[in-house]
Amino acid sequence: MLRRYVGYRDSNARQLVAVEISGRADVGRARLSGQVDRIERDADGGFVVIDLKTGASAPSKVDLLRHPQLGAYQVALEHGAFRDETGAEPMSAGSALVQIGGTRIKALSQPQVALSMDDEPDWAENLVRDTADGMAGDRFLAKVGSHCNTCPVRLACPAQPEGDRE
Ligand code: SF4
């Protein structure tokens, strides 16, 4: 993994801004808080949040388009979560998972385009806001997806065939 990471670092054209940096930003009712592995700056002055992944699996290209974690990074950055490193009004140039685990020979960079370049630039911010609003409510909508495979309450979930029992 270290060899793959060093290979990524040494071949990366963007400028390193910060590593393992904590940030926090309020977006509507949501507070985005956490630590990111790397922040990099591209030649146009845009910032890219990098998340190093050490597992063997990697999301598909289609999943990257609406990858919630990568989208939340971009929203947090544009809301000033890392203002000490990026300034108060930074422009997101995207975000990326960098896969250094598994048996691959080289690190695999999996980018998500900048929100401003997306067909729906507000998708990630809407997701953050809607999630916070939903968590503050007294009802929770069961949304079926791949995450159901490891859900501990699947047998009691009304959205699943096995949970739809009297
Ligand atoms: S099984 Fe039901 S409760 Fe569990 S993650 Fe899926 S939709 Fe949500």
Residue 60 per-residue DSSP state:
-
Question: Which atom of ligand 1 lies at the shortest distance from residue 147's CA?
Answer: 5
**Contact, 47 vs 93, CB < 8 A?**
yes
Q: How far is the CA of 145 from the centre of ligand 1 (A)?
A: 8
pLDDT tens profile 49-102: 999 999 989 999 999 999 999 999 999 999 999 999 999 899 999 999 999 999
Q: Is the pLDDT of residue 48 over 80?
A: yes
Give the model's pLDDT for residue 162: 83
Q: How far is the CA of 159 from the centre of ligand 1 (A)?
A: 7
pLDDT band at 143 (very low <50, low <70, confident <90, very high): confident
- Report d(CA 141, CA 134) in Å as an integer: 8
Chain centroid to CA 90:
17
Question: Which atom of ligand 1 lies at the shortest distance from residue 158's CA?
Answer: 2
Q: Is the pLDDT of residue 166 over 70?
A: no
Measured by CA distance, the residue closest to atom 2 of ligand 1 is 157
User: CB within 6 Å of ligand 1 — which residues?
Assistant: 142-144, 147-148, 151, 153-154, 157, 159-160
- Report d(CA 101, CA 156) in Å as an integer: 35
Measured by CA distance, the residue closest to atom 6 of ligand 1 is 148
